[in-house]
Structure 1
């Protein structure tokens, strides 16, 4: 892995945010900045040549003053957007891939995988999806902590990318059918208490690991997605970090339900990571 930040841009306003964030991180960490744009190779050759020329000019224009003082390189390549970007990841082996959000398509986004999801699922490096504009370092990081090597890797990387931010780890405990048990007169409270007790025991083991300096780990009862959104809004978090889960190149179902939810509709920027190969 190289000490480089690879940022993908489609030259839109959405990806301009990703460029700003990637440049901010590169400047703060001393990393090399690689900015890439993919021109679809499915178009006619004469049109493709025109698009390549325009893309090169547009990419340098979009970088503008952002690259001042940085070691940077602009790359315009042809191919399928997902495949071409993944090849660049394999060739350059960056420490981080930065992408913008995709164009909203409410119905299609519910029934099929987005480009960003395909990239995260198959990329062999952590991915930062930038949703909100900003040129200042991250201030408040919410860590979705499930005690796995993947979530630990995401939390550790967040500390490297935003060393001055405060980190707030939260662990959600979801008890299936607890509402139905209560409605039928069952001992839902006892079941919930048992789940929470087990989670607190795991939390104590995790605290002793001291992955990074952070605020006290918070254990919350509720569905994972709902808890993360609630805490992100309460803290006004500007970054959520979580484990991507699944193996690189594995079926989509192994991406992880929280990662999928965050990529679809996170309230802020999202950092997804996998554990090191030996974990």
Structure 2
């Protein structure tokens, strides 16, 4: 079965964009992990790595020299970090240090300028309360931007080996799945679709009907995905689709506990102009306390 024309166009645009990766760093230990992952991905995808750092600017003019010094120090630190990466050529990287501005807005703007197909950022420890995550730079980059974001939690030692994909068959979760195939070409993939039923009259019958519908949707999605799976040389032994009853966030966490993935790929809504204040529930919960690296996309 051939993929529809729109699916082919999405694939083409994604591949073109993935030739540029943007690493947003604040020079912390967490973003050092992100640098390692970003370098590995740039090598895997034969992409150019663009590094951006946003320097604070003080309100008082008397602090101007201090601001210049901070920018120069940041540039020197990043140059040394990139120079220390074995096999990384200067022609494969670009470095930008920006003074002032809203950090999240500058990152989104820089991603547009370099036509990045992916933004890579480090996670600052475990944010166990959702309200603590909301309003952080990375949350705002995801919520207000359209470029897929990879949140790096763990120090990379190799390529991704196990990927857990949560899907509701939306544009966002489909794009997350496709990008994950690019980022983890040798990984084992677990595709999970959850469904819910709240009970009520004829509960047992309706539960069976919903379970059948969920399996049917997943089977159709897998059938449509055969082309891209073949392209990425993902064997049937390394691809495990399945449905599970329950709330999406709980289902993903339970699956993660069993599978122990090093990457989770999920989607969120793309209606930035309609709901700029809201990040989807499942995405927000996973991102607030991720068990591993997380890739999140909104679809084209």
- Shared fold per TM-score greater than 0.5: yes
1:76 to 64, 84, 97: 97
For residues 204 and 108 of structure 1, the distance between their equivalents in structure 2, rounded to whole angstroms, comes to 34
Aligned to 2:14: none
Residue 101 in structure 1 maps to residue 123 in structure 2: yes
Q: 2:250 aligns with which of 221, 226, 244?
A: 226
Counterpart CA distance in 2 for 1:124 and 1:108 is: 21
Say whether residues 1:92 and 2:107 are aligned partners: no
Q: Which residue of structure 1 aligns with residue 82 of structure 2? A: 63
CA–CA distance in 1 between the matches of 2:97 and 2:143? 23
Aligned in 2, Cα 1:68/1:216: closer, same or farther, shift over 3 Å?
closer
Flag structure 1 segments of 5+ consecutive residues without an equivalent. Answer: none
Tell me which residue corresponds to 1:203.
218
Residue 17 of structure 1: aligned partner = 33
Please provide the CA RMSD for this pair: 2.2
The answer to whether the Cα contact below 8 Å between 2:133 and 2:139 also exists between their aligned partners in 1 is no
Counterpart CA distance in 2 for 1:74 and 1:255 is: 30
Deviations 1:24-71 (A, max 9, x none): 000111101111111022453222112111111121233342263341
Distance in 1 of aligned mates of 2:86 and 2:289: 30
Q: What is the match of residue 70 of structure 2?
A: 51
Within the alignment, does 1:174 sit opposite 2:196 as a pair?
A: yes
Deviates more, 1:263-272 or 1:250-259: 250-259
Aligned to 1:40: 56
| 2: CA distance, partners of 1:230 / 1:112 | 24
Does the CA-based 8 Å contact 1:34-1:72 persist in structure 2?
yes
- The 1:46–1:8 alpha-carbon spacing in structure 2 relative to 1, beyond 3 Å, is same
- 1:109 deviates by 3.4
For 2:53 and 2:180, the matched residues in 1 are separated by: 26
Give SS of 1:134's match. Answer: coil
How far 1:252 sits from its partner (Å)? 4.0
Return the alpha-carbon distance in structure 1 between the equivalents of residues 147 and 246 of structure 2: 30
Say if 2:153 is the partner of 1:142.
no
How far is 1:229 from its partner? 0.9
- Pair 1:191-2:213 in alignment: no
Q: What whole-Å deviation, never above 9, does each CA across 1:163-210 have from its counterpart, x for those lacking one?
A: 11111100111223x4xx6xxxx6543332232122112122212212
TM-score, structure 2 as length reference:
0.82
Match of 2:49, SS state, is strand
Counterpart secondary structure, 2:219: helix
Distance in 2 separating the partners of 1:266 and 1:105? 9
Deviations 1:112-162 (A, max 9, x none): 432211101122211100011113110111000111122111111111111
**Alpha-carbon shift at residue 110 of structure 1 (Å):** 4.2
Name the counterpart of 1:28.
Answer: 44
Matched, 1:4 2:20: yes
- CA distance in structure 2 between the aligned counterparts of 1:192 and 1:269, rounded to whole angstroms: 33
Contact 2:267 2:297 in 1 (8 A): yes
Gapped runs of 5+ residues in structure 2? 1-16
